[in-house]
Chain A
Amino acid sequence: MAQRRGSVWTGCGTVFLKEFADHLGSGRMRVLEWLVLLTGIGAVYTAIQDLKTTTSQDPFLFLRLFTDSHDPLPSFMAVLGFLIPLVAIGLGFDTVNGEFNRRTMSRILAQPVYRDALLLGKFFAGLATLAVALVTLWLLIIGLGLLTLGVPPTGEEVLRGVAFLIVSLAYGGLWLGVAMLCSVVFRAAATSALVALGLWLLMSVLWPLLSRFMTEAIFPTTPLTLLTGPSYQQIVFQQTLARISPNTLFGESLLGLLHPSTRALGPVFMDQLEGAVLGNPLPLGQSLLLVWPQVTSLIAGVIVLFVAAYVIFQRQEVRA
């Protein structure tokens, strides 16, 4: 087959701008933003109440805004882990099938653009919308922290905060990829939304439980293991299983980034702790190294999902 001629990027910018404008102006986006904003601010507010009474000497006061939880509200970090997918799915579940259902697909593809440009433009528009929402939220929290705590964040805290933003965006991109893949595979928008939301519930609520049960099925509890505790293999197996869920990867990356004293995300042997000053924070570079596998896995997930959606979309017939 001879090669196609003409740039894949023709029209990508136009699609991006149109979709971006659509997202920012849509009622759907406004609802989702309020949801995140209210839960997020609630979590941060209770964290601030705690911070004011308990600590004054913590070198990473600002980071604790994101990580501290106060019953009954979870920490801001946990709220994000739960709600970012919801926003991403809300933005992405009808990207492709929506065009078919509105019967605009053939009209758009009759213009001199490749399908690549359409899909890329839509994906980047979703990502940009997520980025705008996340940065706004992040700035709001920093502002809230400045007002109530009265201390400015240190340079390292800001850097860790930026890293946190990037990881959150990758995490959101992954769920956007899931939603777009569903929107390519399923012609009905409702089916696509349901499947994406089902996956989200499976990964965020059921998977941690399932991975534990599956591990117990493979490494059954015996009187011996009750005494010695779980074996090394068992711990590694359960952790690997749990890491299939992007929520686990996201949680672990944030743990490493926002809790500078985190030294390992897996099992640690006693001899590895020799000479370690426990509880002392790691420098930023070391923390980044620690979460590097998690972050690259998240980004790899985004790429794999996008490619899958791309391949299926390219093979789809234009006529509905």
Chain B
Amino acid sequence: MSDAVISAKGLKKLYGRTPAVDGIDLTVQRGEIFGLLGPNGAGKTTTILMLLGLTEADEGKIEVAGFDPMREPLEVKRHVGYLPDSVGFYDNLTAEENLLYTARLAGIPRGEIVQRLGEAMNRVGLAEVAKQKVGTYSRGMRQRLGLAEVIMKKAAIAILDEPTSGLDPQATFELLDMIRGLKAGNVTVLISSHLLDRVQAVCDRVALFNLGKIALEGTVAELSHKVLGGGYSVEIEAIVPNLPALANRINGVQRVSETGANKYHVIAARDVRAELGQAITTAGGSLLRLDHVEPSLDTIYRHYFEGQHGTA
């Protein structure tokens, strides 16, 4: 018996004649951080809205926290905290008043509201500005306030739609850190983003969306294995004539590409670092750098779609 908190089967949604989501199967296990990744307009937000019962699915079955969002949306929403894409607040109210309103709507018991609100504001680092009007908040602060709302709700599932879009690197880093904190609190997190690399760092598993379908699904390592073949990827910086020829002689090397002056990228089926180093030094070259790199989702994604177009 698997411990799935979100499961969707054959999900379909049409806007007019064009399918926004075209037959998606999705399972998210308890306590994992799952990433819905893909370009804008790939159907991520629509999928999320269907999971929340905010929009009706044309086909398919969904179960979130054991409830059907079409029939029992209130129960689903009680168990799910949602941070929408470019979240908005009432600018004329203070941050505290904003959260107070949603706390009451969420049905948090009256006696607990103040305490839970204070805790949430502390965790996102907004406790000192809690009495300021949201109109004075920066974009990063608004995102954090949105996250505070999810934390305050103490939901078992948190769905975050593009939480890092429009944030500067520092704010992104802080926000991702808070999302890791959610996982530590045993919350299942579903996170959508078009910024593959940034989100890759926090996700246990990802699904790559394209044109309303899930193109790939699994851990980053699994995906790289599937798409890049070997999945062992080495970066080399060395001054040596004709490195590709040298590398290709080594057993297991599948692909060598030049990424810059004296810089190369090698994909292999196994760890070939020792042999590579040896080959370079015996050829009389000087080895400047030799690194095993976790393949980035960006690379996987690009390779995958290049492959698709190649066969099409």
| B-binding residues in A (CB < 8 A) | 1-6, 10-11, 14-15, 18, 22, 102-104, 106-114, 317-319
Residues of A within 8 A of B146 (CB): 107
Interface residue? B107 (CB, 8 A): yes
Residues of A within 8 A of B86 (CB): 103
Q: List 22 A-B contacts (CB under 8 A).
A: A2-B70, A2-B71, A3-B71, A5-B72, A5-B75, A11-B104, A11-B107, A102-B88, A103-B84, A104-B89, A106-B82, A107-B82, A107-B88, A107-B146, A110-B52, A110-B54, A110-B81, A110-B84, A111-B102, A112-B73, A319-B45, A319-B49
Q: How many A-B residue pairs have CB under 8 A?
A: 84
- Chain B 76-88: CB-based contact to A (< 8 A → 1; otherwise 0): 0110111010111
Contact count band on B: 20 to 34
Q: When chains A and B are docked, how far (Å) is the Cα of A317 from the Cα of B15?
A: 10
Interface residue? B105 (CB, 8 A): yes
Partner of B73, one of A103, A108, A114: A114
Residues of A within 8 A of B45 (CB): 319
| A-binding residues in B (CB < 8 A) | 45-46, 49, 52, 54-55, 70-75, 77-78, 80-82, 84, 86-92, 101-102, 104-107, 146, 149
Shortest A311–chain B CB gap in Å is 15
Q: When chains A and B are docked, how far (Å) is the Cα of A6 from the Cα of B105?
A: 14
Pairwise interchain contact B55-A11, C-beta atoms closer than 8 A: no
- CB nearest neighbor in A for B70: A2
Pairwise interchain contact B74-A6, C-beta atoms closer than 8 A: yes
Shortest B141–chain A CB gap in Å is 15
Pairwise interchain contact B55-A112, C-beta atoms closer than 8 A: no
- Of A1, A6, A103, A107, the most chain B CB neighbours within 10 A belong to A107
Shortest A54–chain B CB gap in Å is 50
Q: When chains A and B are docked, how far (Å) is the Cα of A106 from the Cα of B45?
A: 12
Pairwise interchain contact A108-B102, C-beta atoms closer than 8 A: yes
Pairwise interchain contact A5-B84, C-beta atoms closer than 8 A: no
Pairwise interchain contact B72-A6, C-beta atoms closer than 8 A: yes
Pairwise interchain contact B105-A112, C-beta atoms closer than 8 A: yes
Q: When chains A and B are docked, how far (Å) is the Cα of A2 from the Cα of B78?
A: 20
Residues of A within 8 A of B91 (CB): 102
Pairwise interchain contact B89-A102, C-beta atoms closer than 8 A: yes
- Of B45, B70, B104, the most chain A CB neighbours within 10 A belong to B104
- The 5 A-B pairs of least Cβ separation, nearest first, read A103-B88, A6-B74, A110-B82, A111-B105, A106-B84
Residues of A within 8 A of B149 (CB): 107
Pairwise interchain contact A6-B75, C-beta atoms closer than 8 A: yes
Q: When chains A and B are docked, how far (Å) is the Cα of A1 from the Cα of B75?
A: 18
